[in-house]
Amino acid sequence: MALQRLNACSRALLTDLSRVAVLRGAIKSDCLKCRDGAKRYLLSEEVVKLQDFQQRKLTVAFQLSESKGYYFDEVNRKMEKKQLISKDELKILLYLCHSVEDVFMARNAMYRYHEENRNMKQFVEFKFGPLFMRLCYELGLEELGARTLTDPALKGFFLDSTSFNLAIDMLFTKQHYESCLEVVGEIKKQGVPFNKDTFMLAFAACYKLNTSKSYHICLTLLEEGQAKGSFIPRHAYCFAAALALKQNDIERAQAFYSQIMCTNSRLCQNLRVLILAMKGSMKEAVSVLTAALVLESPVFVKKPEFSQEVVNVLKNKSVGGLWEREVELVVKQLVEAGQITKQSIDDFLCHTASRRRMPQGILERERKTTRRNQRTLQSILLME
């Protein structure tokens, strides 16, 4: 009986979520497919946690004793009478949002809650920022999310880098690169520390804009991060190096590349060849390609791949030089070995790694734990 109720609730919620597309033309697909439908995104599912968020929404709705309308009416009544809104009430409200209209109402409740609790110690016990941003992610409300982050009235409400990172990733997906940098500026303004994802996202936006101003911003952020001893990930250095190449600053591109500790990825190998080609170091470039050449290997062994874009740059730079013949030969061998791809450096850069697979034993233990410990509503509300 309980299982039937859960299935019915799940179907009802999914039906409500599908109506969002009718309410707002900008939403191209329902919430369960919005990540797959994105053109470009940089944060992995392990960071965005959208599927986990959606599952919690279903669980909260199933475990509530009253209807969604009751909770919305109750919070509305409290706001009209200027009564206190509790932490759990705001959490439940955010988990029950299925439409754009719901989000605006919950956003008003956030303003009220922040006004009441900004100076109270209990306020920092739960981070509402990631919860609200995942809700915006689910419904495709990137502009609303960014405006909420940067609203002075909510200063101090978003105390974590995750909220800002999710907003930047949403904006990047919709190609709003200037807005990405506005959010980066707000992070600095509010004194929220950058983490590895923040650096990667900021450098990605700078790379996409490819202006002297965005290049200066990238250099400044990189210098500040290094001076503070912040961890700057490989992907961020790759964006910085690629931007330097676009700005024809080959020396800096090589300097950024030298900061990468592990360079065995496809992206790093392509960047290395591209830097060498643009420097005119034909001998070293041919050496890298020759070392990567795999003439015979089992089908299941993944071969190193090089972008046609990179190969074209190398060939053009070698025309009329001493290494023209050697370049043509190694490129021909790579083509025959199936190691040339039509994907560009941009494709390699703007690619999110798939979610890491857990070993089978761990997965089985997770399933047993889930079956054994069905989370209560209170335990779900305590989680971020």
So what's the pLDDT on residue 137?
Answer: 94
End-to-end CA distance of the chain: 30
The model's pLDDT over 14-48, given as tens digits with 9 standing for 90+, comes to 444 333 333 333 333 344 344 443 344 699 899 99
Residues of the chain with pLDDT under 50: 1-40, 121-123, 356-373
Give CA–CA dist 10/241, Å, rounded: 46
So what's the pLDDT on residue 36?
Answer: 42
Give CA–CA dist 9/95, Å, rounded: 14
Backbone φ and ψ of 340, nearest 5° = -115, 130
Both tokens assigned to 47? 């960071």
So what's the pLDDT on residue 188?
Answer: 94
So what's the pLDDT on residue 323?
Answer: 93
- Would you give the distance in Å from CA 258 to the centre of its chain? 25
The model's pLDDT over 269-309, given as tens digits with 9 standing for 90+, comes to 999 999 999 999 999 999 999 999 987 766 666 889 999 99
- What kind and span of H or E run contains 307? strand 306-307
So what's the pLDDT on residue 304?
Answer: 92
Q: pTM of the full predicted structure?
A: 0.82
Specify the residue for token string 């200037």.
178
**All structural domains of the chain with their residue ranges:** 1-193, 194-261, 277-353
CA-based R_g, the chain, Å: 25
So what's the pLDDT on residue 298?
Answer: 65
Give CA–CA dist 337/160, Å, rounded: 48
Give CA–CA dist 265/254, Å, rounded: 17
Backbone φ and ψ of 214, nearest 5° = -65, -35
So what's the pLDDT on residue 234?
Answer: 96
So what's the pLDDT on residue 378?
Answer: 57
So what's the pLDDT on residue 148?
Answer: 95
Backbone φ and ψ of 299, nearest 5° = -60, -35
